[in-house]
Structure 1
Amino acid sequence: MAVFPPPGEIHALQRALPSGGRVSPTGKWHVTLAFLGDVPSPEPVAAVLAAVRSPGPFTLRLAGGGRFGKAEWLGVEGDREQLTALHTHIRDDLAAAGYPLEDRPFHPHLTVSYHADGRLRKALSNYVGSPWPVTEFSLVLSHNGQYEKISSWPL
């Protein structure tokens, strides 16, 4: 489950990054709300997500960066209370339906690269994007390193 920045924000971020950096494909740039791992079929998960209580539309902005291990990421600012509420509603509903979830604190971020890179880290730490409206969240499947949006639901 994820929130995807709009194309204009993706392009602005691309322009702000140093050339020659090893970044992940922009189609993978998202803010993870919950991670399930392998599931036999996405349809039952989609049914749970279709009933998730919405906190309503909200606004986010990508800003500041950091590193988890070798991964370089951008932070998330804006209506974090509503983003956290959405994350909590999704987790609670999936857990109630019997899906095992990771038990980690929620630190919203967008991973830009899985390779440590000081130039990239500096660019990300100084980056401040434009606010963008979050009006939906999506169920995403990963196939051989590629992401596929299965369904999206309005907020």
Structure 2
Amino acid sequence: MRMFVALRVPVEAREDLETFLESRLDAFDVGWTPPEHWHLTLAFLGSVPERTLDDLTERLATAASRRSTVTLRLAGAGAIPDPFAARVLHLAPDLEPDARLELDRLSAAARTAATTSGIEVDGARFHPHVTLARSRHAMNAARWLQVMDTYRGPTWVADEIELVRSNLGEGRRHPRRHEVVNRFPLRWGQGG
């Protein structure tokens, strides 16, 4: 099964961004990610065998208990792989240096928990972002970046990470589903 470890965008931040995007959705010919799927991925996990799930869960709980909460705000628009041949449109968190360092450490802890459980971690370097849309064809995203550059979302405190199973869809009738398998509170520095 395919899984990932993530920080969920909370309801109030999702609603603010949904309101901002509402009048702009038709301006871009892309496949929009459902707001309930908006998250910041800390680690993409390769195939996770059922037999490793208990070990992974235990290691993620330990890792989360050793990390601090992180204050986030979505504000920086981006395009992957680049603005002139974009396939993914996203927002990045606007972070203070200490928060960025803690987010990097949280991602490293999630990746370590997976690899020490015998699970391959996909991807290379950690680039925090929330995917908002995907395009089947490479597109010039300059207009998207210009529009989204004006957005500054509300701040929130991420106080837990989630282990999520990604159920890949098959066409429009069976869209991708995300199922939260477990949640782990971030406790370090909170007396917990």
Q: Distance in 2 between matches of 1:102 and 1:23?
A: 23
Distance 1:111 1:103, change over 3 A: closer
CA contact (8 A) 1:36 1:99 kept: yes
CA contact (8 A) 1:4 1:30 kept: yes
Other-structure match for 1:9: 13
Aligned amino acid, residue 19 of structure 1: L
Larger radius of gyration between Structure 1 and Structure 2: 2
Aligned amino acid, residue 131 of structure 1: T
How many angstroms does 1:93 deviate by? 2.4
Distance 1:50 1:113, change over 3 A: same
Aligned amino acid, residue 74 of structure 1: L
Q: Any idea what the Cα deviations from partners look like across 1:80-129, whole Å, max 9, x if unmatched?
A: 11111111111122222222112511110000001256654433232111
Distance 1:16 1:118, change over 3 A: farther
TM-score by length of 2: 0.74
Q: Distance in 1 between matches of 2:54 and 2:116?
A: 16
What secondary structure, in the 3-state scheme, does the structure 2 residue paired with 1:37 have? strand
For 1:80, which of 100, 103, 126 is the aligned residue? 100
Aligned amino acid, residue 51 of structure 1: T
Other-structure match for 1:136: 160
For 1:89, which of 109, 113, 118 is the aligned residue? 109
For 2:67, which of 42, 48, 55 is the aligned residue? 55
The unaligned stretches of length 5 or more in structure 2 are 81-85, 169-175, 187-192
- Determine what percentage of the aligned residue pairs are the same residue: 30
Deviates more, 1:125-134 or 1:45-54: 45-54
The unaligned stretches of length 5 or more in structure 1 are none
Other-structure match for 2:40: 31
TM-score by length of 1: 0.90
What secondary structure, in the 3-state scheme, does the structure 1 residue paired with 2:108 have? helix
Aligned amino acid, residue 115 of structure 2: A
